[in-house]
Amino acid sequence: MSHKLFFIPAIIILLSSCQKVIDVDLNSASPAYVIEANLYEGTHDFHVKVTKTTSYFSSDAPPTVNDATITLIDQNNVSHAVPNTGNGIYTLPAFTAVNNVSYQLNVSAGGKTFSATAKMPLPTSIDSLTYEEFGGFGGGPGGGGGGEKNFLVVTHFQDTVGIPNYYRVLVTKNDTLLNKPFDYYLVDDKIRDGQYFDAPLFTAFSKMGDTLDVELLSMDAGVFDYFNTLSEILTSDANTSAAPANPNTNFNNGALGYFGAFTRSKKSIRIK
């Protein structure tokens, strides 16, 4: 993911009787650290990526940070060093994470320490995946698809009653992750606590013979807020936004990015 520092440090407005001259400086803001870390339930390698922002107009890849000191603090208050493995990636091998507990990630770089806490929620499992022929706006007969049938895949799962739940659905179609701006499928249970969810994947219309791998991620409110604001930024019309912005973060001290603790459930389906 490319990272730009969407920050306007100085706007100079010169007024005259006939015009306004607006000087917007998008290049002078100091680079910020961007931290991306995904911790999954079970025993997995835990990866942290650290980069810096570039200027707004730069086309260069974000510079990587390889001199950070990173520690993960587990549910027993034990610190685990996360060593650098090159190219801005830090890896703690074979770490076992459990649900319903909180983890803290500390990243020290450039004389500052950035901390974030994420609680790994209880897991929610996908019950099943189904599909049905769809001839609406997505294509297929009557939908502008040139006569080829389109199918709508629906994810079914039971929400846990009495516990705030926050979900993201990831879809991989024919071995390609759908990760464009309108592919972010995010939902919470604020008005549907304890209900059964039938979640149609309107951005993943499929043809006969397609294979879809669907992953349901459960997360806490802070990480959900990051993905929700990121989705809003990516899908917003630039003409309706007064100025670019960064997604909300659960890191303190001025860092961007997120530290997420996830449980996940996966199922696959083939359209036939």
CATH 2.60.40: does it fit domain 126-218+265-270? yes
**Residues of each domain in the chain carrying CATH 2.60.40.10:** 10-122+222-228+245-263
> For residue 181, what pLDDT is reported?
87
Q: What is the pLDDT of residue 147?
A: 65
Model pTM score: 0.82
Residue with tokens 């071995």, as numbered in its chain: 175
Residue-level pLDDT at 137: 54
Assign a CATH topology to domain 10-122+222-228+245-263: Immunoglobulin-like (2.60.40)
State which residues of the chain have pLDDT below 70: 1-29, 55-59, 136-147, 237-244
pLDDT for 58: 65
pLDDT number for residue 57: 62
| Nearest-angstrom CA–CA distance, 255 and 258 | 9
Asked whether the beta carbons of 159 and 192 are under 8 A apart, the reply is: yes
Average pLDDT, whole number, for the chain? 86
